[in-house]
Structure 1
Amino acid sequence: MAAAGSCSSAGKSLLQFMKLVGQLKRVPRTGWIYRQVEKPESVSDHMYRMAVMAMLTEDRKLNKDRCIRLALVHDMAECIVGDIAPADNISKEEKHRKEKDAMQHLTQLLPDILKTEVYNLWEEYEHQSTAEAKFVKELDQCEMILQALEYEELENRPGRLQDFYNSTAGMWFGFYLFLTSRYVDELQFFLIFSEKYLG
């Protein structure tokens, strides 16, 4: 009887975890709201495409499975704290504290092994402590500028979101390598992005 009760309790906790994480589908990316983008993507949208980008990498020096997991976990705390943007004027330290508290709350709902795995993945990304975490950080920036490009194309307003490109200074080369290694030839990439980065 106790085992059945324990199982039921664990099941309820897991369901609560899934409901909380599901809220990411309804948390909009704040940066697009500040720029008055119509129907902005959700945090979940952003993380999903990052995970797909991680899946498509051919860099054999990286653990692809770990990259996908990092992409799926890195913004998970935002289901509780929301998407805190630079324009919110919250310090990096305070942002980290809020997100750490949220991750601790979230992972307490998981079985011990999963609790440790999910929390450690989040910490790994936050501290940029592995090659995989650094790569996924680049994907985070790359996905953002790809989304900015798509919004500009949808609105037929090139350059409207230039500040998003500018904020990724130093990160774009990883995006270049990612795209040209699989899908986009060098000339096409240059034509699309040279005006963004070179003026």
Structure 2
Amino acid sequence: MAANPSSLASSSPSPHLNRNSLTRAPSLLFSRTSSLKPPLSNDSQRVSIVRSHDFNSSYGEQSMESVHSSYGASRAPSLSSSSAIDFLTLCHRLKTTKRKGWINHGIKGAESIADHMYRMSLMALIAGDIPGVKRERCIKMAIVHDIAEAIVGDITPWDGVPKEEKSRREQAALSDMCKVLGGLPAEEIQELWSEYENNSSLEANLVKDFDKVEMILQALEYETEHGKVLDEFFLSTAGKFQTEIGKQWAAEITSRRNSIMRKKHG
């Protein structure tokens, strides 16, 4: 969760440009031909994908209970029930981990990471048709863009973690999560996550705007509910929106906030 201008993505091409005019950055993380193949083993072999001490050393603050994934010698192309449930178990922490920016500001009952991603996916759903933008891809991207935080937690600019180290932790966490899942679903999650991180498509431009729009809308709601003043979240996003709909929705939120403040102090 970022409220620091330095942590926000730099400007990207206008969303009205043709997709082909955008240069997609190569994936930072993965080899599709190597990282997702299950290990060759007999039916009784079990491969430990996630161990608590690995997460302590590799990802920093958070640790994980051991999660094991079983692979047969000849795994079927379809996703196994075992892999699906292992992966969904990892994702449980998205529901229970609170967004740290709100915790740092004394918000009780703060939203979880999953709460944030869910409303972003609703934004993508209701945004309507935008030339050159695939709405279904935006919905999927919104659902997975913070998925690595199930392992590393919500690292904020106030945590003192360098941007490169934050990226390394998230990349490593996502890689392990996708090894648990395996197959084409894992490949799709990796691709969507990398596309978002690299801000390398019209869909990524839009979802990054939704990330900021959702944050300032939540900030306005917490200001109203808790009597807080959360200026920094609005200041950190001002002028950072890349798409017309992002600008319009942010302007509407800011207008409502200004109206509330005038009533309070008028």
Separation of aligned partners in 1, 2:215 and 2:250: 14
Q: Where do 1:12-161 residues align within 5 Å?
A: 12-61=82-131, 62-157=133-228, 160-161=229-230
- Could you tell me whether the CA contact under 8 Å between 2:206 and 2:246 is conserved in 1? no
Partner in structure 1 of residue 13 of structure 2: none
Structure 2 residue runs of 5 or longer lacking an equivalent are 1-42, 44-70, 262-266
- Could you tell me whether the CA contact under 8 Å between 2:152 and 2:170 is conserved in 1? yes
Greater mean deviation of Cα atoms: 118-127 or 53-62 = 53-62
Shift of 1:111: 3.4
Partner in structure 1 of residue 257 of structure 2: 192
Q: Alpha-carbon deviations, 1:61-86, whole Å to 9, x = none?
A: 21100000000010000000000000
- Could you tell me whether the CA contact under 8 Å between 2:141 and 2:196 is conserved in 1? yes
Query: Which structure has greater helix proportion?
Result: 1
Shift of the 30–98 alpha-carbon distance from structure 1 to 2, 3 Å rule, reads same
Shift of the 45–59 alpha-carbon distance from structure 1 to 2, 3 Å rule, reads same
Shift of 1:174: 4.3
Q: Alpha-carbon deviations, 1:113-171, whole Å to 9, x = none?
A: 111111010000000000100110010000000000000110234xx111111111213
Separation of aligned partners in 2, 1:128 and 1:175: 15
Separation of aligned partners in 1, 2:137 and 2:260: 34
- Amino acid in structure 2 at the alignment position of 1:34: N
Shift of 1:179: 7.2
Shift of the 152–51 alpha-carbon distance from structure 1 to 2, 3 Å rule, reads same
Separation of aligned partners in 1, 2:240 and 2:106: 25
| Corresponding residue SS for 1:108 | helix
- Amino acid in structure 2 at the alignment position of 1:147: Q
**Alignment of 1:165 onto 2:234:** yes
- Could you tell me whether the CA contact under 8 Å between 2:213 and 2:249 is conserved in 1? no
Separation of aligned partners in 1, 2:118 and 2:256: 27
Large movers: runs of 4+ above 6 Å: none
TM-score normalised by L of structure 2: 0.64
**Larger RCO, structure (CA 8 Å, separation 6 or more):** 2
| Corresponding residue SS for 1:109 | helix
Shift of the 127–195 alpha-carbon distance from structure 1 to 2, 3 Å rule, reads farther
- Amino acid in structure 1 at the alignment position of 2:150: C
Q: Percent identity?
A: 40
- Could you tell me whether the CA contact under 8 Å between 1:176 and 1:189 is conserved in 2? no
Shift of 1:13: 2.0
Separation of aligned partners in 1, 2:245 and 2:165: 29
Shift of the 176–20 alpha-carbon distance from structure 1 to 2, 3 Å rule, reads same
